[in-house]
Amino acid sequence: MKRVDEEPTPKAIDNALSQDPLHRKREIEDFLKMLITVEPPYTFVIDAPWGSGKTFFVKQVARVLQMANPTLNHDFETLNATLGETATELPATPCLPIYFNAWEDDHFDNPILPILASIANAVDEQSVKGGKDFGKGVISVIETAASIIGYGVDINGIIENFIGTDFLEQYKAEKSLGAKLASS
């Protein structure tokens, strides 16, 4: 991957997808094809030197998956113009990409909080777009994941917070405090 010095803002991501200045369209298409054909569960590793655009690449893939999701920012026209045949191969079942940056949230006492906040933010966007039952499915996933990994947490308490606004407010307050401390 070539070095990228542009912040992965939504506008920059959309521009990079449509204009393809770094010629990564093929890499994105190949990654999406692999994502479609691999049977879950799976883990992918994207390895490249610092500053080479891993975050930008992952956010581009997430943007494509959002554009393909009919209950989110479904924009099949743009997606088809950008990816062509690969766009038609994307799964008919909508997926909800969740972006989590462990480096940004490593200061939290409870590591599950920022992970759940990332999920909650994605679910909230989904709910706003009309998929209100989606949150129930995510709660089920959280319960299952917590039981599988044997994480010593009060999952019912987390779920209660997840459903309410206090959970996200707590996360946002801690994140804001971290940003203020970092800029001091």
- Helix H, strand E, coil C: the string for 44-87 is CCCCCCCCCCHHHHHHHHHHHHHHHCCCCCCCHHHHHHHHCHHH
Task: State the residue range of the domain holding 147.
Answer: 112-183
In-domain check, residue 71? yes
Omega of the bond leading into 41 within 30 degrees of 0 (cis): yes
Percent over 70 (pLDDT), the chain:
67
In-domain check, residue 106? no
Q: How far apart are CA 95 and CA 109, in angstroms?
A: 30
Instruction: Please indicate, yes or no, whether residues 79 and 120 belong to a single structural domain of this protein.
Output: no
| Nearest alpha carbon to residue 99 among 74, 68, 120, 72 | 120
pLDDT along the chain (184 residues), means of 10: 65 84 86 84 86 89 83 72 73 74 79 77 59 53 58 55 57 76 77
